[in-house]
Structure 1
Amino acid sequence: MSATATTIQSTTRARAEALVAELTDNGDLDSLVHLARMIGSAQDALTDDMIGRLAGIAGGGIDMLDRVNRSGVVKALPAIAQMVDNGDLERITHLARLIGSAEDALTDDMVGRLAGIAGGGLDMLDRVNRSGVVKALPAIAQMVDNGDLERITHLARLIGSAEDALTDDMIGRRAHLASEGLSLFDRVTRSDGFMGMLQILERPDVQEAFTAFLEAVCIARTEAKEAAPSVGGLGPMLKLARDPQTQDAMRFMVSMASHLKR
């Protein structure tokens, strides 16, 4: 046992001597000596109060490093380094300064109004989102493209101008007219005779007869204006009675009268 211990001590002493020789050769031993002297001088110069403050600073720094290490902020260092490289961190700093300056310039009344505006805007966005108006955006975009939205705007302005120009008396008369028109329309739609007349007017032969009647009335009116005045007397009447067209017209009237009696 004593031989083994002696061997270990000899080996350890040889390593220590070799290490001291290496430190001496490269000048590290002198550096360590100077460092020890500097630390000793600092210890001699420091008062108890300074030592307490330095201990507090060192304790706070170690605590901060521990909290930073536990918070995982190390993972954000690559992103922060990239922001420093491309200048985004500087822009964020300027933005923070701008916001700080704005906060200093705002009064309590201005802050209250801005908060009210922000609250109203968020409420409006929530109501728009819940109303489903997003589904109408494609149709609105199409109306903007083809100009229909502008036409609707002009129409709304026209209606607004008309409302501004109308007096109470005019509004009352138009409301009465609209009421009477709706009443008349209701009576017409409930009348079986009127609906039957509409069904008759939808027939092609009735439409042709009505067109021919109107054309005949127009032609006869034109011929009556251009013809000379009648001289009167029995002779012209007999001459008119002998006219074949007069007989055809009388036959047509008799046929129509007979059908009306049925």
Structure 2
Amino acid sequence: LIYIFIFMYGTMVMRSVIEEKTNRIVEIIISSVKPFELMLGKIISVALVGLSQFAMWIILGFVFLLIANGFISTDIDVTNLNANEAVLSSEIGSSLMALPIKSLTFVFLIYFLAGYLLYGSLFAAIGSASDQETDSQQFIVPITIPLIVSFVLVQVVIDNPHGGLAYWLSMIPFTSPIIMIARIPFGVPLHELLLSISLLIAGFLLTTWVAAKIYRVGILMYGKKISYKELWKWLKYKD
């Protein structure tokens, strides 16, 4: 779920930047605000949309749990069920109520926000360096590879949530939003969780700094196909 959210909202940011750049609207906006402020405002506005949708998911999920607990509970009348059905119903009800819903929701929110901000800034930079969406494909692939790898390795992490692979992937900022969420239900030491969150926030700050340097130049660059070499030059421009 977090993979879909990050990719979906990151793409929204990129398309919005490309649209403003293509329509030359950004030239008017830049006269009033700094490029960094414009980029950050766009990222945050989309994040608020995501949080609104996430809040709806929480409400619907809570309602679902209440309904499920009403139908499948440990107090169910077992007179109409055989022994196996009664045991199964009891186990399902107990499992639903035993889920650490509050902690999962809180951690999911942190990793969604930090992960989105990390990737959202990069998607904004890609949008500023592209005149149209087809031009952005060469830059999107390297950025999305960590997300795809994380998604593919989730089952491996679930099979061994405390192994070395799971640990290191949950520490790397580009993979931790997905991998750490997969590890949480199996119990993660507090120091590992705090370290992972700290590294993710540090990664977000770094990517925002890099994206801002690309954004301020690329947002006013038209009619030129940008290469990685050109992006490197933009990063070396002094403020």
User: Shorter-chain TM-score category?
Assistant: under 0.3
Using CA pairs under 8 Å that are at least 6 residues apart, name the structure with larger relative contact order, 1 or 2: 2
Larger C-alpha radius of gyration, 1 or 2?
1
- Higher fraction of helix: 1
- TM-score (norm: length of structure 1): 0.17
